[in-house]
A and B are shown apart, each in its own frame.
Chain A
Amino acid sequence: MEEKVRSFLNSSFGEAIIKEDNFRGQQSFYIKPEVLIPICQALLENGELDVRFLADITSLDWLGHEEEKNGRFELVYNLYSLSHRYRFFLKVRLPGDSPRINTLTPLWEGANWLEREVYDMMGIWFEGHPDMTKILTPDELEGHPLRKDFPLTWEQPQFSWNKDQPPEVVR
C-alpha cells in the first residue's frame, strides 16, 4: 500500500511533492500549499486507493527552531483508507506572516470544525470557509493561544508570605 500511494502521488503530482518522509513506519509527504485541493480531489476519485476518511487536521508552530527556515507553520492532514486500513499524512508548510490556505470543506464536511479550531488556536486563515469564527477560546481573548509567542500566563501560587498581595501573573 505504501508503494501504491507513493507511485500514485509521484505520477500525477511529482513536481509538487517536496519530500517524502517515513518515521516509525508512518509515511508522510511534504507538499506545496497550492496542490492540496487537487491532490485530495484525486485521492477521493481514485477508487482503488479508497482514501475517503479525513481523520484530523493538526497545526504546528516551529518558531525559534531551526526548522523555521522552511516555513513557520506546518499543517498536517491525516488521511485514512478504510478498505486498506492504511494511514498516511500530507504536510504543508506556511510562512509566518498571514498564513493562508484553501479550505477542505467542499470535499469533507468534517473539516469544518477542525479548521475552525486550527484558526482559533494557531491563526491560520482558511479561504472559502463558510464560518471562520472562534470556537474554543472566549471572545475577549486576543491572540492565538497555541502559538509559541503566546505565553502560558500562569499565576504565582499564594503561600503564607504573599497571600496578602494580589496574585502575580507570570507571562
Chain B
Amino acid sequence: MPEEKTVTLNMGPQHPATHGVLRVVLELDGETVVKARPVIGYLHTGIEKTMESKLYYHALPATDRMDYLAPMSNNLGYCLAVEKLMDIEVPEKVKWARACLAELTRVNSHLVWLGTHAIDLGAMSMLLYAFRERELVLDVYEACGGQRMMTSYIRIGGLAHELPKDFDKKVLKIVKVVRERLNDYEKLLTDNEIFINRTKGVAVISAEDAINYSLSGPMLRGSGVKHDLRKANPYSGYENFDFEIPVGKNGDAYDRYLLRLEEIRQSLRIAQQAIEGMPEGPYRAHVPGVVLPPKEDVLYKMESLIFHFKIITEGFQAPFGAVYQAIESPKGELGFYISSDGSNKPHRVRVRPPAFVNLAALPRLVEGSLFSDVVCAIGSIDIVLGEVDR
C-alpha cells in the first residue's frame, strides 16, 4: 500500500491572484490544504527607518506609499498622531474636509477590492466597472492635490492647499453616480449562483477567534463584533455625522462582501453630509513655529517667510513622550505610534498595519478547505502588500 504524502506547492511571489508579491507555501493532500504558510517581505522598504532620519514634515510622503490604495487615510493617521503629540487643535473646516476625503478614500479602496476580488473568482467585467468608478474619485484627488494617487494633501496642522472651488459639485456627483451603479454591481454578483458557491461558507472565522487574532476592520465586523473606531473613539469630527456600522453574521467571505458594499453606501452618506454641512474657515491651524503659514502670507509678510524657512529646514522641537493614534482605515485599525526624544526628528515611528495582522490569520482561514478557496480567502482579507511589508 503506497503511503500518502503531501505535495508542497509554492504560490510564488509572482502570481496573478495574490494581489502583489505574496508567497504562500501550501501543503496539499489531493485538493485539500493541510498547511498554509504565508511568506512575506518581498516588498520590504524600510519605511520606518527612513522616517526616523527625516523631519516630521519630510516623513509625511513616505506614509502615502504604504497602503497605496487608500493614501489619504495613511496621511490622516500620521497627521493626527503628530498633532496629538504637539497638542495642535485644527479648525472645524479642516476636520470636516478630512473626514470627507477619508470617506472618499474608503470608497476608492473598496472599489479596487471589489474589482480584484471578483476577477480572482472569474467575474472579469467587474474590474473594468470598478476602475471606471475609481477614475471619478481620482479626479477629485487630482483637483485637490495635483497628484492622482500619492497626494500628501493632508498635512500637519491642516490641508496642503485650499479646497478647489468645485469640490462640492464633484463630490456630490460621485455620490449620485456610485450609488446608482452599486445597484448594478449588486445585480451582477449578489444573487449570482457561481459567486455564492465560491464565497458562502469559505474562509470562516468565529468572533472569539477574530478577537484572539487581533483582527480589525471588515474581518472583525464580518464575524459579528460591532466595533468601529469611528464610533468607538471618534477622531477628526466623526461624531458630527450620522451613519451606521454594518455587521455580518457568519464570518465567511460572502458576509464580508455584503459588508463592504454596505460600507461604501455609508461612506457616500457621510461624504454627502460632510459637503452639505461644511463650515467656513481657514484651511490650516495658526500655530507659529510648528505649522507652515499659508502661502499667501509667506509672499507678503516677513514673519511668515522666516517661519516658513525655519520650519522647512529645521523643523520643530517635539516634546518628549509617545503617542498612539488609531484610525479606521478601509483595511482595519491603522495606528501610528510616534515616540519623540525631544529633538526635531521622530525617534521611532511605528505603523500598526491592519493588513499584516489580518494576514496572520490566513492559515486559520484556509486549512482544511479546498485549494481554490485559498484565492478567495486572500481576496477576502483585502491585503495590500505595501502595508504588510512596509
Q: Which residues of A contact B (CB under 8 A)?
A: 23-24, 26, 52-56, 58, 60-62, 65, 67, 76, 78, 82, 85, 87, 89, 108-114, 117, 121, 134-138, 145-146, 150, 152
Contact = CB atoms under 8 A, between A and B. Distances in A.
Contacts of A53: 211, 214
A89 B49 contact: no
B212 to A, nearest CB: 5
B170 interface: no
Given A85-B232, A109-B360, A150-B49, 11 more contacts: A23-B322, A23-B323, A56-B324, A60-B339, A60-B348, A76-B322, A78-B352, A113-B359, A136-B44, A136-B390, A152-B46
B49 A78 contact: no
Interface string B336-372: 0101010000011010100011011100100000000
Interface residues of B, number: 44
A136 B214 contact: no
A97 B212 CA distance: 32
Contact of B41 (A56, A60, A78, A138): A138
A24 B85 contact: yes
Contacts of A67: 341
Contact of A24 (B44, B87, B348, B350): B87
Contacts of A82: 211, 225, 227
A60 to B, nearest CB: 5
Given A26-B324, A136-B40, A110 B214 contact: yes
B322 to A, nearest CB: 7
A61 B356 CA distance: 22
Interface of B: 40-41, 44, 46, 48-50, 53, 84-85, 87, 209, 211-216, 225, 227, 232-233, 321-324, 326, 333, 335, 337, 339, 341, 347-348, 350, 352, 356-357, 359-361, 364, 389-390
B82 to A, nearest CB: 12
Contact of B350 (A58, A138, A150): A58
Contacts of B225: 82
A137 B41 contact: yes
A39 B337 CA distance: 23
Residue of A56, A112, A150 with most partner-chain B CB within 10 A: A56
Contact of A152 (B50, B216, B324): B50
A56 B87 contact: no
A150 B209 CA distance: 37
13 contacts: A24-B85, A26-B324, A53-B214, A55-B214, A56-B335, A82-B225, A82-B227, A108-B214, A110-B215, A114-B214, A136-B41, A136-B390, A145-B49
Contact of A55 (B44, B87, B333, B361): B333
B352 A113 contact: no
B233 A113 contact: no
A56 to B, nearest CB: 4
A42 B341 CA distance: 33
B40 A78 contact: no
Contacts of A112: 360
Contacts of B49: 145-146, 150, 152
Would you list the 9 A-B pairs with minimal beta carbon distance, nearest first? A110-B214, A113-B360, A23-B321, A85-B232, A136-B41, A56-B352, A58-B350, A136-B44, A110-B213
A119 B46 CA distance: 15
Contacts of A135: 40-41
Contacts of A55: 214, 216, 326, 333, 335, 352
Contact of A109 (B41, B84, B213, B348): B213
